[in-house]
């Protein structure tokens, strides 16, 4: 394999989780293929995220959430050898943003954890949600739960934090592997998607918002790709 990005991916058994797949023949599989096709055709990402006429919003959102989880998990997997207890004792996005983990099990109160620990819990938690038939039903005709979008908002906010940490603390590694374009495209796609359907609060998006022109950009904190202001 000559592509350093792929090589890295396949060496990372530890963080390389099996992909959640869509069953062929189901409506959601068709939607997934359709979403992929518009991306492969080079369609403008901003247009590609729009709900196709006649499709159900929840189906469209479900397909994207699973797809983003698979892609972002893979991106983190490529840099995870450089994200350790030593390098990242606190899960953060620069000095200004610190993220604390909270769940319904061990960490009932928001708890400061190292980035690798936090990422592990985050990926596990999302995996449980998207494999839960009651939240992400796979059979056609099974309705989504009433709180579906609420769960999705939480998943996407947490996935966004992976981008924050990777961009601010591990962008050198991404650049070194030559995968900036790949990561930037994934981030743009994600950003347009959450904006299109209002799935993440603007405040939560702040760590990667474009710096004002007066501020000098810091070489250690590279800016994410230019995006239109929210």
The residues binding Zn ion (CB under 5 A) are 83, 88, 115, 169
**Which CB atom, from 76 or from 148, has the smaller least distance to Zn ion?**
76
170 is in an annotated binding site: yes
Task: Give min distance, CB of 8 to Zn ion, in A.
Answer: 15
- Alpha-carbon distance of 53 to 125, in angstroms, equals 32
Which residue, 186, 230, 189, is CA-closest to 207?
Answer: 230
**Which CB atom, from 68 or from 118, has the smaller least distance to Zn ion?**
118
**Which CB atom, from 71 or from 169, has the smaller least distance to Zn ion?**
169
**Which CB atom, from 161 or from 169, has the smaller least distance to Zn ion?**
169
83 is in an annotated binding site: yes
221 is in an annotated binding site: no
The sign of the torsion formed by the CA atoms of 44, 227, 66, 197 equals negative
Task: Give min distance, CB of 188 to Zn ion, in A.
Answer: 22
186 is in an annotated binding site: no
Task: Give min distance, CB of 221 to Zn ion, in A.
Answer: 14
Task: Give min distance, CB of 121 to Zn ion, in A.
Answer: 14
Which residues define the annotated binding site? 83, 88, 165, 170
Which residues define the annotated binding site for Zn(2+)? 83, 88, 165, 170
């Amino acid at each position: 394999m000559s592509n350093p990005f792929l090589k890295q991916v396949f060496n990372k058994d530890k963080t390389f989780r099996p992909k959640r797949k869509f069953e062929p023949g189901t409506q959601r599989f068709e939607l997934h293929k359709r979403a992929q096709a518009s991306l492969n055709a080079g369609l403008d990402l901003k247009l590609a995220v729009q709900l196709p006429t006649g499709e159900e919003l929840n189906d469209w959102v479900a397909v994207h959430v699973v797809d983003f989880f698979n892609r972002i998990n893979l991106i983190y997997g490529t840099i995870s050898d450089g994200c350790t207890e030593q390098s990242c004792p606190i899960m953060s996005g620069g000095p200004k943003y610190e993220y604390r983990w909270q769940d319904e099990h061990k960490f009932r109160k928001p708890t400061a954890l190292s980035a690798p620990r936090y990422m592990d819990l985050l990926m596990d938690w999302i995996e449980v949600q998207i494999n839960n038939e009651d939240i992400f039903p796979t059979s056609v005709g099974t309705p989504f739960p009433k709180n579906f979008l609420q769960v999705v908002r939480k998943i996407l906010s947490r996935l966004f934090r992976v981008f924050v940490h990777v961009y601010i603390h591990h962008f050198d590694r991404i650049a070194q592997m030559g995968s900036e374009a790949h990561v930037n495209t994934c981030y743009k796609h994600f950003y347009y998607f959450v904006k299109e359907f209002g799935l993440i609060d603007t405040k939560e998006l702040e760590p990667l918002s474009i710096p004002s022109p007066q501020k000098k950009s810091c070489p250690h904190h590279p800016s994410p790709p230019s995006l239109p202001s929210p």
